[in-house]
Amino acid sequence: MKRLLITGGAGFIGSNFIRYILAKYPGYHVINLDKLTYAGNLENLSGLENDARHEFIQGDICDAEAVAGILRKGIDSVINFAAESHVDRSILSSSEFIRTNVVGTLNLIELCRKNRIGRYIQISTDEVYGSLGSSGFFTEASPIQPNSPYAASKASADMLVRSYCHTHGFPGIITRCSNNYGPYQFPEKLIPLLISNAINGFPLPIYGDGLYVRDWIHVRDHCSAVDAVLHNGKPGEVYNIGARQELPNIQVARTILRLLGKDESLLTFVEDRPGHDRRYAIDPSRIEKELNWRAQTLFDSGIRETIDWYRNNSNWIEHVRSGAYLTYYDRMYGQRHKTLSEM
């Protein structure tokens, strides 16, 4: 049996990853450390409330005592999804991004090193590479040129992990994935925002000219890639993860409107994001060749499936929009799961 510490497991990708891992490896035990910020939602883990293989602990990756306490209980590998993840928020205020993404990562790797944890995966992002023009791709050798405070905080964390690998022989691996979409994504991000607005007949905000390009991957494919890295990746290395599915934002918006049978008059061009990166595009050749991993979901089918999920889970969206999800912990987990003071 393997014991994994997954941080940020109540967020979008972390919760999908926990579901993925427990379904694929029935013998694994997951400890999920999440601070439950505005983006953390235990409704993302509904159905696992009574699964003894999932242990939720509300806590902060910056809290050395809490992390050390968990590691001392015996952990084979740590996968760090916890982060402040929204670029727009980092433009408004960046200090929380530095605290969690940089200081939190440093706290984790230092304690993992001291406790001789066998493997540490840092979930990073393609945004550390900055922006591309109309051609070319990000490879693992591309220069690190972050443009937003969010990207700078993720790049700083990557540099710390790299330095620990180099200096201490730390068994860290960095993954850099492109834009994810799928179930349980907080509707501040483009795709869930567009879907929920379109369902409700609200305007779809398109920044600038709408010709900014993102490289979309279904979250399930990101999970299978992290699984491949966790089990077969080489310590000290970086793996780019992507599905080779570049699309301009306006095309994503038009596709969503078409699939929902809504009128294009809902498209609303709004003021651009400051410092907006023009194009991201990942070259995933390395993980494909070395770890025999491939993205499986085409955008065309993935977006239909995702729209169906949001249509069939209107309660989830309603709870997120109204803030009702913030009380889910007390209702569903309060009796069974630990807070830090109970550890």
What residues line the site for ligand DAU (CB under 6 A)? Answer: 85-87, 125-127, 178-179, 189-190, 193, 205-207, 212, 214, 249, 273, 280
The residue assigned the tokens 């035990």 is 29
Q: Which of 126, 277, 283, 288 is catalytic?
A: 126
Overall size of the chain counted in residues: 343
Q: How far is the CB of 146 from ligand DAU (least distance, A)?
A: 10
The answer to whether residue 184 is catalytic is no
- Ramachandran quadrant class, 130 (left: phi over 0; alpha: psi -120 to 50; beta: rest): left
- Residue 253 contacts residue 204 (beta carbons within 8 Å): yes
Question: Can you tell me the distance from the alpha carbon of 326 to that of 331, in angstroms, rounded to the nearest whole number?
Answer: 10
> Which of ligand NAD, ligand DAU, none does 35 bind, CB closer than 5 to 8 A by kind?
ligand NAD
Q: State in angstroms the smallest separation of the CB of 170 from ligand NAD.
A: 19
The span from the CA of 180 to the CA of 252, in Å, is: 13
The encoded tokens of residue 82 equal 């916890």
Q: Where do contacts with ligand NAD occur on this chain (CB under 6 A)?
A: 7-8, 10-14, 33-37, 39-40, 60-62, 81-83, 85, 100, 104, 123, 125, 154, 177, 179-180, 186
For ligand NAD, give the closer residue by CB, 127 or 288. 127
Least spacing, CB of residue 156 vs ligand NAD, in Å: 12
Q: Which of 120, 150, 184, 280 is catalytic?
A: 150
* 13 vs 48, beta carbon nearer ligand NAD: 13
Minimum separation from the CB atom of position 261 to ligand NAD (A): 27
Choose among ligand NAD, ligand DAU, none what residue 218 binds, the Cβ cut-off being 5 to 8 Å by kind: none
Find, among 96, 70, 99, the residue nearest to 6 by Cα. 70
Facing residues of 122 across strands?
Answer: 80, 174
Task: Answer yes or no: 126 catalytic.
Answer: yes
* Cα 323 from chain centre: 21
- Among 60, 127, 158, 221, which one carries the catalytic annotation? 127
Residue 12 binds: one of ligand NAD, ligand DAU, none (C-beta under 5 to 8 A by kind): ligand NAD
305 is a catalytic site residue: no
H or E element: which one contains 173? strand 172-177
Q: How far apart are CA 122 and CA 218, in angstroms?
A: 19
**Residue 190 contact, options ligand NAD, ligand DAU, none, Cβ 5-8 Å cut-off depending on partner type:** ligand DAU
Pick the closer one to ligand DAU by CB: 65 or 209: 209
DSSP string spanning 285-326?
HHHHHHH-------HHHHHHHHHHHHHHTHHHHHHHHHTGGG
Q: Which residue is nearest to ligand NAD (CB)?
A: 11
Residue given tokens 């290395």 in the structure block? 237
13 versus 332: smaller Cβ distance to ligand NAD: 13
Task: Just list the catalytic residues.
Answer: 126-127, 150
